[in-house]
Amino acid sequence: MKLLFLACLSPKTGNCTTAERIRVHIESAGHLCVLRDILDFNSPADVASLVTGEPSFEGALAIHLYKGGRLLLGSEAPYGIIFGGTDLNEDMKDEKKRAVMEQVLKKARFAVAFSCKMKEEAEVFWLSQSSKIYIQPQGIETQAATSFSWSAFLKSSGVNGADVEDLRVFLLVCGLRRVKDPLYLVQAFSEWHAEDPSVILIIIGPKIDPVFTGEVEVSVERTRGVYLASERNQEELHAALKMCFALVNSSISEGMSAAILEAMHLGVPVVARDIPGNAAIVRHEDTGLLFSTPQEFVTVSKRLLEDRPLLERVVRNGKQYAETFHSLAEERIVYQKLVELLH
């Protein structure tokens, strides 16, 4: 079967990584899955024209009911849809967008939610469609680059004149856009760094929003103890994660953070903002630590530095959780079965 797969494909983002991983799952079952960026299309008519062209597509997939799914409404091809965090955390608040998302869900053969919480949120508005919503957490696979140099990484990030062995590096992995809120912790972290120069925060990720990226660059440049690193490929990022003290997430909203799951899988402690998407995978003081304010972030991070049994527990339980509930093999089986619903 030849399938069209629509997603936001900004390089080195969670959406791009997720889409590519699912594409591989589908093609490993013998299908042809053509991945296209939603930015390539101006309207549903553009997608409909592509789908019916020669050779035609027999089915379609999309990540995000609104961003991707709306482009499938003009096509007759059967399709499946994958919920994104933006759908339920942001677009659901807009009545017009919600109406479009309802049309998309009603026409879909199946829909995938990454967690029970995401399905429950969808059911608040679309309970009648509940039977077609399947829960499948993201599958995780990590592979760290073997040639990675931690000292070179720190130097390229602007960290100079410090003894690398003495540093406790907190790594905030995110695309530079407002919903990820990378500046949320900057002031509090800088004040903590003034007390303890061994702790530093490095923000790393692709520059998605140019205007906001400029704001981040200006803020970081004038703040001590906080640095901005250029984006890396996935293997280099995983190598950096393995070397850091903890992974930080400060997002305003998340569907399911791949960076959090990757850190857990690599045996790196996670300190995450207490929002629904994060709380669905991070159990406080069990698989990671949650915080609700910048000051609370500093408090729980200090505990992590000082309490060795707590550190060992969240690392051990986080790794076990990622391996048990975010199996790449299980994810592959589920998507291969779901695609059969498009026949």
What's the half-sphere exposure (Cβ side, CA atoms, 13 Å) at 139?
17
Average pLDDT over residues 258-284: 96
161 and 116 in a common domain:
no
Helices (DSSP H) in the chain: which residue ranges?
A: 14-27, 44-52, 85-89, 95-107, 116-126, 150-156, 186-195, 210-221, 234-243, 258-266, 276-279, 294-306, 308-325, 328-339
201 with 305, same domain? yes
Q: How far from 158 is each of 11, 15, 27, 220, 256, CA to CA, in Å?
A: 23, 28, 42, 11, 30
Q: Phi first, then psi: give them for residue 9, nearest 5 degrees.
A: -115, 35
**Residue 297 in domain:** yes
Confidence at 12, pLDDT banded by 50, 70, 90: low
Same domain, 102 and 158: no
What average pLDDT does the segment 35-48 reach? 95
User: In this structure, are 154 and 281 located in the same domain?
Assistant: yes
pLDDT confidence band for 343 (50 / 70 / 90): confident
List, for residues 217-247, the tens digit of each pLDDT value.
999 999 999 999 999 999 999 999 999 999 9
Domain-embedded: residue 165 = yes
156 and 91 belong to one structural domain = no
Instruction: Establish if 145 belongs to a structural domain.
Output: no
- The domain spanning residue 213 has which CATH number? 3.40.50.2000
Statement to judge: residues 31 and 118 lie in one domain: yes
The parent domain of residue 38 ranges over: 2-139+327-342
Q: Does 337 lie in the same domain as 302? A: no
Kindly state the percentage of the chain with pLDDT values over 90.
Answer: 86
> Is 257 a member of any domain?
yes
Same domain, 133 and 200: no
Instruction: Please name which of 141, 160, 142 lies closest in space to residue 151, comparing C-alpha atoms.
Output: 160
What is the residue-averaged pLDDT of the chain?
Answer: 94
Q: Is 28 domain-assigned?
A: yes
Q: Residues 69, 185: one domain?
A: no
Look at residue 25 and tell me if it is in a domain: yes
Predicted local distance difference test score (pLDDT) of residue 174: 94
Residues 167, 123 share a domain? no
Same domain, 90 and 114: yes
pLDDT confidence of residue 88: 86
What's the structural domain count of the chain?
2
| 133, 280: one domain | no
Cβ atoms 204, 234 nearer than 8 A = no
The average pLDDT across 63-89 equals: 93
User: Which pLDDT score is estimated for 255?
Assistant: 83
Within-domain flag for 170: yes
Asked if the structure places residue 93 within a domain, the reply is yes
